Amino acid sequence: MMAKGASSQIDFGNVMKHVDYMRLHFPDRKSGGGGDLEAGRYIVEQMKSYGLDATLQAFETLDSDVGTSRLTRGGAEGPEIASLPCLHVEPTPASGVTAELVDVGPGGMADYEGKDVAGKFVLAEVSYAPATPEKARIAASKGASALILMNWGKDDSTEIPWRSLKSVWGNPTPENIHEMPRIAGISISRGSGMALRRELAAGSVRLHMRLTANRVWRTLHQPIGWLNAPEHAPERDRFMVVSTHIDGWTPGVTDNISGMSVMLELARSLAARRNSLARSVVFTSWNGHEVAEAAGSTYFVDTQWERINRGAVGYLNIDSVGMRGTTEFHVNCCPELRHLARSVSREIFGDGLPQKIQSLKRTGDQSFFGVGVPAITGRHSYSPQVVAEFNGATLGWYNHTKFDTIDVLDPDLLEADLTWAKQVLDTFLVNPALPYRLSERVADLRTRYANVLEDSGQRSDLGRIADGLDALAPEVEWLDRLLADANASQHVLARANGVALRITRQLTFIGETAVGKYGQDSYGSSTLLDPVPMLACLRQYKEAGPGSDTEKLLWTKLIRLRHQITDAIELARSTIADFRVNLADDGKAPPTTGK
């Protein structure tokens, strides 16, 4: 139990104590290297001292170890270009490989148009356009023999980043293991990359690469701590998931020692006022984040799916907080949490700080889209001008390099990020009603599907999707009003919360995923850029010749996808309609639909 007299107020001094302890004792936390396990034991020890039910969760995953790399101009004995090996890549033969270099810019699919890269090395920029694992997948699909990643930062910078190129999210399956790119990969500084670009402008460039690499199944450990609401809490079995990630590149102060330290202080302060909680919360620091690509969070979802589906009310991920030099506050969240994001950010920062509320993308450990848990993450972020100056460095020029030290952490900004996270968490755990605005989710879906279904004609009767969303809209507006009703009884709100939770389970995957409710989309998959990833094949269908085999095959695929979508929408509508009837039968509300 929490020590007698422990303060329930946030104490930022505790955060900095954790930062200093972990950066000095566990600077190297590469998954499976030992430092990650020691850091996990430290977090479990701290959570137990707060009174949480904490343990180290063991899981097996396909990991990769740090190899060696050597890149030279011309042949094997040419001038060397400083490099680092990527992980989850293919090794070269012991004697190395010599090939022509082709510049593909950001490295997206469109960047290969008109370029023959078969058997060649491709030079691509580190960025999220697309994410680096997707760059590797695309390069491999085009027949390139190696991917050379030039870092973000200023054009003359010398920092070299660590990168993993495992495009499969979590552990692979027989169906998607072939999506893991079979390609060599190394990282170089942006300065070296720009020098190669100048050489390419003057003529052809040939490089020689030697690379060692491996993939290995191993057992990793991640700390999990449950803080259960008191027995009298009306929604004790419902819970919030709060996460960071424990593995990182040496020394990883902002990625993610700062996040782990914030999480520990949130856990301590909540444990000290446990009796005030209406819902429970689980705190965790995922392992297998950097190299195994969200392996820990995916394992948690896979093994706790039924419990998550039944009771998880929200997911707060804390990553890369307290970055020095950031001058804006950015929130990325699911549509139903935009109202929460706006209100909390305004309450904390007022008009004194530029704020942006943006759609949540499949980055970090966002492994909960399929099961349908509303998710949110927020932090002080760099302005568009700074990001452009550093060529896309959204997480700082130092990210994933040896320069992510205490010098790039700003304690004042870290404290502000902590305050924001506390306020979000309190809203989920203390307020009688869950902070959803489901009408914003439906509005988002209507916009997405309107973009996709435009000019679709009668193809597979896809218009039925829009009809279903039209019928659903007034129902969710009614539910939103009930959740916002200050006069509603605790009993009614608890039932309304359960209905709202069920709605999120039906409406999230049809807008956010390509593989659907029970799978995990590959990291950075270009398909996820489509307004409706599940209907990405509609473009191919429209381009197919009338009466062709392709058109006929895709027609069947589309109509079955339509079934999944309209079924989810109808389940959402009927769930609310049935709830309204039940309330009317209980004398709590009229059974009428709409407004």
For 332-391, what is each residue's pLDDT tens digit?
Answer: 999 999 999 999 999 999 988 999 999 999 988 999 999 999 999 999 999 999 999 999
Q: Is residue 1 part of a domain?
A: no
Same domain? 289 vs 411: yes
**The predicted structure's pLDDT at residue 301:** 98
Q: How far is CA 110 from the centre of its chain?
A: 24
Q: How far is CA 125 from CA 81, 185, 193, 287, 527, in A?
A: 16, 13, 8, 26, 20
Q: What is the C-alpha separation between 193 and 457, in angstroms, rounded? A: 47
Q: Is residue 594 part of a domain?
A: no
Least Cα distance to 479 among 518, 507, 451, 511 occurs for 507
Same domain? 400 vs 471: no
Phi and psi torsions of 286, nearest 5°: -60, 145
Q: For residue 211, give the H/E element and its range.
A: strand 206-211
Same domain? 407 vs 421: yes
The Cα diameter of the chain in Å comes to 85
- What number is the average pLDDT over the span 410-434? 97
**What SS3 state is found at 391?**
coil
Paired strand residues for 85: 186
pTM assigned to the model: 0.95
Q: What is the CATH number of the domain that holds 299?
A: 3.40.630.10
The 10s digit of each residue's pLDDT in 516-551 is: 999 999 988 889 999 999 999 998 998 888 889 999
The 10s digit of each residue's pLDDT in 15-46 is: 999 999 999 999 999 999 999 999 999 999 99
* Low-confidence winner among 40-44, 402-406, 456-460, 552-556 (lowest mean pLDDT): 456-460
Please indicate whether residue 5 or residue 166 has the higher confidence score (pLDDT): 166
Same domain? 284 vs 393: yes
**pLDDT > 90: percent of the chain:** 89
Same domain? 497 vs 477: yes
Same domain? 298 vs 197: no
Instruction: Look up residue 43 and give its two tokens.
Output: 């977090």
The 10s digit of each residue's pLDDT in 195-213 is: 999 999 999 999 999 999 9
**The predicted structure's pLDDT at residue 461:** 87
Q: Is residue 505 part of a domain?
A: yes
**The predicted structure's pLDDT at residue 452:** 87
Per the CB < 8 A criterion, the answer to whether 206 and 469 are in contact is no
Q: How many domains does the chain have?
A: 3
Phi and psi torsions of 219, nearest 5°: -95, 125
- What number is the average pLDDT over the span 105-121? 97
**What SS3 state is found at 9?**
coil
Q: Is residue 595 part of a domain?
A: no
Q: Is residue 591 part of a domain?
A: no
Q: How far is CA 461 from the centre of its chain?
A: 33
Per the listing, tokens 């704020």 go with 355
Same domain? 358 vs 409: yes
Same domain? 53 vs 115: no
Per the CB < 8 A criterion, the answer to whether 425 and 242 are in contact is yes
Q: Is residue 199 part of a domain?
A: yes
Q: What is the C-alpha separation between 358 and 396, in angstroms, rounded? A: 19
Final residue of a structural domain among 185, 214, 243? 214
Concatenating the DSSP letter of every residue in 69-136 gives EEEEESSTTS-EE--EE-BS-PPPPTT-EEEEEEE-TT--GGGGTT---TTSEEEEE-SSTT-HHHHH
Residue 590 has pLDDT above 70, yes or no: no
Same domain? 339 vs 368: yes
Final residue of a structural domain among 408, 429, 450? 429
Q: Is residue 558 part of a domain?
A: yes
Q: Is residue 35 part of a domain?
A: yes
Q: What is the mean pLDDT of the chain?
A: 94
- What number is the average pLDDT over the span 439-450? 96
Side chain identity at 253, as an amino acid letter?
V
The 10s digit of each residue's pLDDT in 47-89 is: 999 999 999 999 999 999 999 999 999 999 999 999 999 999 9
Q: What is the CATH number of the domain that holds 168?
A: 3.50.30.30
Q: Provide the pLDDT confidence category of residue 595 given band limits of 50, 70 and 90.
A: very low
Same domain? 445 vs 351: no
Same domain? 394 vs 478: no
Final residue of a structural domain among 429, 452, 487? 429
Q: Which domain holds residue 51?
A: 12-64+217-429
Same domain? 475 vs 407: no
